[in-house]
Amino acid sequence: MLKITFGEIEHGWAQMWFDTDSERLTVAASYLTEPFADLADVAFAMLQGKPEAIMQLATEPGEYRLIATKTDSTYHLRLERWTDLFCCPKEDNKLEALLFEVPEVAPKAFGLQILVELKRIAPLSGVQEWQMNDDDEMNPVPDTEYSGAKIAELEKALME
């Protein structure tokens, strides 16, 4: 089983906890990626039966990738740490570590867990102010990729 939850979300950083049956990993995701929307997209892709879904989390420097790979009716999820999301040339971005693997993740159970977590954090000010404006000041930006639309899309897919 894999449970993903968010801790402190402020100043363009989101603390994420990845809980497996045997360990808890903490990742501080940067505003350079969209962890809320991307997590919803991974759950949605699993519900649609896509062969693979990848979520990238920038950590400045470095990145993490949550990868969901379809195996029959379930998914195999793994978390990898890479050297740098924005390195150039791209071939210099190297896999540093495989942090965990969780086999046999049911798409509906995972999608429901993610939906509940996204609904929990949606009203938090840190989520509402996720993006920075051009002056590097925290201001609400209503049209970021993470919005009620992602939650509604995931919720609808879970009801099918």
pLDDT tens for 96-126 read 899 999 999 999 999 999 999 999 998 887 7
The pLDDT assigned to 114 comes to 96
What range defines the domain where residue 125 resides? 3-159
pTM over 0.85: yes
The pLDDT assigned to 134 comes to 46
What are φ and ψ of residue 92, in 5° steps? Answer: -80, -10
The distance in angstroms from the start CA to the end CA of the chain is 23
Closest CA to 55 of 114, 104, 108, 139: 114
Q: What is the CATH number of the domain that holds 134?
A: 3.30.2450
Looking at the chain, the whole-number percentage of residues with pLDDT higher than 70 is 87
Assign 131 a pLDDT band (cuts: 50, 70, 90). low
pLDDT tens for 39-78 read 999 999 999 999 999 999 988 888 999 999 999 999 999 9
The pLDDT assigned to 155 comes to 93
> With 90 as the cut, is the pLDDT of residue 137 above it?
no
